[in-house]
Structure 1
Amino acid sequence: MKPNLLTSLAVMIMPFFGFAKELSIDEKIEKEFKPFADWIGSIVFYPVSIVGISVPIVLIVLLLGALFFTMYFKFANVRLLGVAFNAAKGKYDAVDHHSVDTVAGDPTPGGDVFESPQHEGVVGEVTHFQALTAALSATVGLGNIAGVAVAIAIGGPGATLWMILAGFLGMSTKLVEATLGVKYREVGTDGKIYGGPMYYLKQGLKEKNMMGLGKVLAAIYAVFVVGGSFGGGNMFQSNQAASQLKVLFDVKDGFWFGVIMAILVGAVIIGGIKRIGQVTEKIVPFMGILYVGAAFVIIFMNVDVVPEGLGQIWSSAFGNKAVVGGVIGVMIQGFRRAAFSNEAGVGSASIAHAAVKTRFPASEGIVASIGPFVDTVVICTMTALVIVITNIKSNLFIYGNLDGSSVVLNSSGKSVGGVDLTSVAFDSAIPNFSLILTIAVILFAFSTMLSWSYYGIQGWKYLFGKGRVSDLTYKGLFLLVVIIGASSSLNSVVEFSDSMIFAMVFPNVLGLLILAPKVKDELKRYLKAIKE
C-alpha cells in the first residue's frame, strides 16, 4: 500500500478519536452499522437445528474438525502431553537448536561435538515458552471468567464436563495449526518471522496444486484477522476492563483509562513479538496463578460440598433433567464455551507460534497443544467449579433463571452479566474479591490486546506489505482503537469484529484438513529426532 493511501486511511479513522467520548456519536455509528453487523453475524453464526436446538454452524465445523484431528493423529493431544510440557520447559532444545554435520577429520561423525554450533540453521524470534504464553495471552481472558459463568447458568453444572471434553479435542486442532504455522513461515531480510494461516494456506495449498484456492483463502483470512484484532482483540477488551474499573472506583469516563492503556500497550507492541513474548511470559503465569489460586482457595474452603458439586456436574451432563434441551442442550453449552474460549480452529494462535526458534515445525505444534489444556481444561473448569460449589453453599441463582442473556440472582432478583456472576460467586467466599477480579480482568485484557495486535499486524502486512509505513500505520490505528473502546459503547462494531474472528474458522479448517498429512510427516520426524 502506498504511503498516501495509508495516510488517507488514518485520516478516516481520526474523527472517531476526537468524538470517542460523545455518546451521540456512538449512537449514530451504532444505528448505521447495526444492520451490516447483524447480516455478517447471521452468516457466520448461521443456526442449524439439532433435536430442536439451534447450533451455530461454525461450532459444528470446529468440533467436527477437532474430532477428526484427534482420531487422525491417534490421540496425540493426550498421548504427547508429557512431551509437550518437556518441550515447553526446554528439555529438547538441544534437538531444536543444534545441527550436527560430519566434517573432514571429525573424530566422532554424527556426534554432538564442538563443531555443532547452537542455532545453526535455526530461525525464530522467541522460545517455545514465550510463543506459548503469547498465544495463551490471547485466549486466556474474559471468556474464561464471563463466558463460563453464562454457560453454566444456562446449561447447568453438566456443561462443565462437555467443556473439558471439547478442550481436549481442541488440543489436536492447535497441534495442527501451529505445526503448519512454523512449516510454512517466511523469514524477512531482517530476521523477522511472518507466519500463520495466510502463509500455510497460500504455500501449503500451492504444493497440493491448489494455488488459486490457496491465494483466495489466505487473502480472506488476512482481512478477517485484521478486523478481529480491532474488535474482539482490542475494543472489547479495553471496554470491559474500563467497565470493571468504573464499577469499582465509581468512575464515569473511561477515556483516560483508555489513554493509559494505549500507552502501556504501545510501549510493548512497538518492540514486536520479541517484546510481546518477554512481557507475556511474565504476565500470563502471574495472572493464571492469581486467578486459579483464588479458585483453589474457595474450593478448599468449601471442600465439604465438592463431592456434591462433582455429582451435580456428572448427573447434569447425562441426566434427563438438564435445564435446557436435555443432554444435547448441556453438551452444546459446554462445547460452545470451550470452542469460543480457546479459539482452536480459528488459526490465530499459529501466528504467534510461527515465531518460535526451532528446526522442527512439529515441536511447536506439540507445545501449542498445551494452550487449550490450560485455557479450557484448567482455567475454565476452575471457574465452573467455583460457581457450582458456591451456588450449592449460598444458593446464588437457579440454573436457567435468565433475563435475556443475564443471570437472575436469588437474593435481589437483579440481572447480572457473566463477569458479574463470577464476581458474586467469588465474593460469596472471599469478601471484596471484586478488587482481585478487576486486576485479573485488566491483566487479561492487556495481554489479549498484546497478542491480537501481533495477529492483526501480520494480516495487515500480508495485505499491504512489510514496510515501515505499513507497520506504523497499523500500530497507530490499533492504539487509537484502544482509547475508543474504553470510552464508547459501539456494540455492533464489536459484534461485527467477533463475527470476523469466527469467520476465520472456515478458510482455516478447510486448509488444515487438506494439509493434515504434512503435519503427520513432521510429527514423525520430530518424535524420531528426540528419541534418537
Structure 2
Amino acid sequence: MMQQINDFLVLIDSFIGSADWFVYFLLGTGLFFTIYLKFPQIRFFRHALRVVSGKYDKSDLPGDTSHFQALSTALSGTVGTGNIAGVALAIHLGGPAALFWMLMTAALGMTTKFVEVTLSHKYRETVADGSQAGGPMYYMKNANFMLFGKKVSLGWVATLFAIATVLSSFGTGSLPQINSISNSVFATFGIEHWITGLVLSIFLGMVIIGGIKRIAAVTSKLVPAMAIIYFIGAFAVIFYNAGNIIPSFVSIFADVFTGSAATGGFLGATLAYAFNRGVNRGLFSNEAGQGSAPIAHASAKANEPLSEGMVAILEPFIDTIIICTVTGLVLLSSGVWNEKHQNVFQQTDMFVLNAVYDENNLQDQEKLFGHLTNKSAVALYNGDLNVQDGSVTNNLSIIHARSIAEDVKISKAGSPFTGSVKVQNGNLVDPSGDLLVEGKSLVHSAPLTTIAFTRSFFGDAGQYIVAIGLLLFAFSTAISWSYYGDRAMTFLLGPKSVMPYHIIYTIAFFFASFTDTTIIWTLSGITIALMTIPNLIGILWLRKEMPQIIKEYGEFFDKNFPGMKHPKFK
C-alpha cells in the first residue's frame, strides 16, 4: 500500500517539481531579475547587513516584529532538514556536482527573495485580529495586474496559492521535519519514533498557539543557538579530515558539466540528474521563489517595502551558501557519502533484481545506472524469496538506496526469519508489516550526516551534535511553517480557522514521526512546486514595479537618513 502511494506521488511529482521545465523556470526567474535589477544581491548586500542590524529601525513603525526577528523567523523556516538531510540527499542522488547547483540556486535565489518579499510587503494588510498579514496571496489579490490594457483579477490564483501554502505547511514544515528528527534521535539515542513525536508535538502546540510574537521570540533565540552548535560539530569534522578539503572542493566543481562518475557504492549520476536534484534540493533548503518567506517578513516593522526586501537578500546566503556548503564539505571530506553502511532498509527505497549484479563490473554499472536514471530498465524479480535463518538463498541482487545491498538479513519480531517472502515487480509483499530488512548499502538524508559527524575530533560523540542540531533546526522550521499556514488559513477562512488548523497541524506532526521517509520527501516536492509556480508567475507579472520601488526607497532614505552612505538606489 505504501509503495503504491509513493509511486502515485512520484508520478505527480514527475510532471511538476521533478520536471526539467520547473527547475529552468525557477533559475530563469532568478537570472532574469538579477540582470533586470542590476545584481541587487551584490549591490545591496552591505546595506542589507545594516538594515538587519537595526541601524535604521524606528519603534513607531507599523508591524509586529523587528527586522532581525522577521529574518530569524524566516530563517528558522528555511534552516532545517534541507541543510542537514537535504544536502545529504542531493549528494546521494546527484553526486558532489549537485551541491554546486544548490549554490547556484541560492546565488540567484537571493534576488528572487529580494523581489518576492518586497512585493509582498508592499501589499500586506492589517487583518481582523490587528496583526499584519502578507504574502503572495495578498499581492495577487491587491496588485494591479494588467492584461491588454485592462485590470485582471488574480483572486482565484491567490486562493489556489493559499491552499497550496496550507498543504505545503504540512509537506515542508511539519511532516519531513519531525520525520528527520525522530529518525536521528532513534539512530542516536534509541528513543522510539512515536515518543519523540509525542513530546515535540506538545512543545510545538505550546509555542504556535501564542501567535507570531511568541514564535518570533522563540525563533530569534533558537536560530543563533542552533547555528553555533552545528558549526562547532561541522568544523570538527572538516579539520579532522583536513587533507580531504581541497579534493572535496575539486569534486564539487570538476563534474559540474559532465555528471558524477561511479565511485565506491555510488553508481553515478548524469549532468541532468545532478542539476535537477541540486536545484530541487536548493529550493527546499532556501525556499527562494516558493513564496513562504514573504509571509514571515510581512510582520516586520517597516514603512518602506524595500527595506524588508533588503533583509531577505541575506536568507539564501546564510541558509544555502554558508550552511549547506559546510554540510557538503562534512559529507565529502569525511568520505561517507559513497560508502556502504549498516542500516535498516525502507521498503520504498528497495527493490529486488532478477539477476546478480556486480558494481565493480563496468557493464553492470552501466545497466544499473541506466535503470536508476530512467534511461533504460533491468529485469525485476517476481516470485518468492527463500530465507534461511535470516539470509536470502536466491541467486539475485537487492538494490537499496540506489546501491547494491550487501549482507542482507531479514528478521521478524526480533529473530532471524525462515520461510518465503513474496516479491512482485521487485517489491516485497509484506501484508503484516512485521518483516525487518537490514544490511549494508548507501545511506542518505539525516542518517548519512550523522555518520559523517562521527569522523571528527569528537568521535562517536559527534552524532549527538547532529541529533541536537537537527532537533533545533527542524523544530524551528515546523514552528515557522505553522505561521505560514495560519496566515493562509486567515486569508481563506478568516482568523477563526487558525485554531482548528493549529490542532490538525500538531496532530499531523505527531503521526509523521513514524511514517515512511521516502513518501514524506516526495509529498514535500509536490507541495513546494504548487506554491512556487503561481508565485513566480506573479512576481514576473509585477516586474515593472520593482525599479520604481527601488527609486522610492532611495528618496525615502535620503530624506530620513541624510548624510548616511548607501548604495545607488537606481
Please give the TM-score of this superposition, normalised by the length of structure 2. 0.75
Letter in 2 for 1:439: I
Deviations 1:115-141 (A, max 9, x none): xxx51xx21101111111111111111
Deviations 1:166-211 (A, max 9, x none): 2110000000111111100001354301110110111114577776
Instruction: Please tell me whether residue 225 in structure 1 is matched to residue 225 in structure 2.
Output: no
Deviations 1:260-304 (A, max 9, x none): 212211111111111111111111111112112322222223333
Please give the alpha-carbon distance, in whole angstroms, between the structure 1 residues aligned to 2:198 and 2:137: 32
* Pair 410,384 (structure 1): closer, same or farther in 2 beyond 3 Å: farther
Counterparts of 1:253-292 in structure 2, within 5 Å, are 254-292=193-231
* Pair 498,305 (structure 1): closer, same or farther in 2 beyond 3 Å: closer
1:322, distance to aligned residue in structure 2 (A) = 4.8
CA contact (8 A) 1:144 1:383 kept: yes
Aligned to 1:341, which of 273, 285, 310? 285
Counterparts of 1:414-429 in structure 2, within 5 Å, are 414-429=441-456
Please give the alpha-carbon distance, in whole angstroms, between the structure 2 residues aligned to 1:374 and 1:247: 28
SS in 1 for 2:542: helix
CA contact (8 A) 2:17 2:528 kept: no
Please give the alpha-carbon distance, in whole angstroms, between the structure 2 residues aligned to 1:293 and 1:519: 40
Instruction: Please tell me whether residue 165 in structure 1 is matched to residue 109 in structure 2.
Output: no
Letter in 2 for 1:128: H
Please give the alpha-carbon distance, in whole angstroms, between the structure 2 residues aligned to 1:494 and 1:325: 20
Letter in 1 for 2:195: W
Instruction: Please tell me whether residue 148 in structure 1 is matched to residue 148 in structure 2.
Output: no
Higher helix share: 1
**Identical-residue share of aligned pairs (%):** 37
SS in 2 for 1:381: helix
* Pair 495,201 (structure 1): closer, same or farther in 2 beyond 3 Å: same
Letter in 1 for 2:183: S
Please give the alpha-carbon distance, in whole angstroms, between the structure 1 residues aligned to 2:180 and 2:485: 20
Please give the alpha-carbon distance, in whole angstroms, between the structure 1 residues aligned to 2:336 and 2:198: 42
CA contact (8 A) 2:291 2:531 kept: yes
1:405, distance to aligned residue in structure 2 (A) = 4.0
CA contact (8 A) 1:150 1:407 kept: no
Aligned to 1:66, which of 30, 41, 60? 30
1:65, distance to aligned residue in structure 2 (A) = 0.8
1:392, distance to aligned residue in structure 2 (A) = 9.1
Deviations 1:336-359 (A, max 9, x none): 322232111110110001110000
* Equivalent position of 1:81 in the other structure: 45
Higher strand share: 2
* Pair 331,231 (structure 1): closer, same or farther in 2 beyond 3 Å: closer
Aligned to 1:315, which of 254, 268, 274? 254
CA contact (8 A) 1:305 1:392 kept: no
Aligned to 2:459, which of 431, 445, 457? 431
1:35, distance to aligned residue in structure 2 (A) = 7.1
Please give the alpha-carbon distance, in whole angstroms, between the structure 2 residues aligned to 1:37 and 1:392: 30
Please give the alpha-carbon distance, in whole angstroms, between the structure 2 residues aligned to 1:45 and 1:320: 21
Please give the alpha-carbon distance, in whole angstroms, between the structure 2 residues aligned to 1:152 and 1:489: 21
CA contact (8 A) 1:390 1:396 kept: no
* Pair 302,496 (structure 1): closer, same or farther in 2 beyond 3 Å: closer
Gaps of 5+ in 2: 263-267, 342-358, 373-398, 408-438, 563-570
* Pair 479,211 (structure 1): closer, same or farther in 2 beyond 3 Å: farther
Instruction: Please tell me whether residue 361 in structure 1 is matched to residue 302 in structure 2.
Output: no
Deviations 1:133-174 (A, max 9, x none): 111111111111122123224433333333222211000000
Instruction: Please tell me whether residue 443 in structure 1 is matched to residue 443 in structure 2.
Output: no
Higher relative contact order (CA 8 A, sep 6+): 1
CA contact (8 A) 1:230 1:478 kept: yes
* Equivalent position of 1:23 in the other structure: none
SS in 1 for 2:96: coil
Letter in 1 for 2:17: F
* Equivalent position of 1:129 in the other structure: 68
Counterparts of 1:363-442 in structure 2, within 5 Å, are 363-391=307-335, 403=399, 405-406=401-402, 413-429=440-456, 430-432=458-460, 433-442=462-471
Letter in 1 for 2:51: A
* Pair 148,394 (structure 1): closer, same or farther in 2 beyond 3 Å: closer
CA contact (8 A) 1:58 1:505 kept: no
Please give the alpha-carbon distance, in whole angstroms, between the structure 2 residues aligned to 1:162 and 1:461: 36
* Number of residues of Structure 1 aligned to a counterpart in Structure 2: 468
More divergent stretch after superposition (413-422 vs 444-453): 413-422
1:517, distance to aligned residue in structure 2 (A) = 1.9
CA contact (8 A) 1:128 1:356 kept: yes
Please give the alpha-carbon distance, in whole angstroms, between the structure 2 residues aligned to 1:451 and 1:339: 17
Please give the alpha-carbon distance, in whole angstroms, between the structure 1 residues aligned to 2:77 and 2:186: 23
Letter in 2 for 1:380: C
SS in 2 for 1:458: helix
* Equivalent position of 2:294 in the other structure: 350
Please give the alpha-carbon distance, in whole angstroms, between the structure 2 residues aligned to 1:80 and 1:233: 30
Please give the TM-score of this superposition, normalised by the length of structure 1. 0.80
Deviations 1:444-497 (A, max 9, x none): 22101111100111111111112xx31211111111112222244486576335
Please give the alpha-carbon distance, in whole angstroms, between the structure 2 residues aligned to 1:191 and 1:217: 25
CA contact (8 A) 2:95 2:260 kept: no
Aligned to 1:186, which of 125, 137, 141? 125
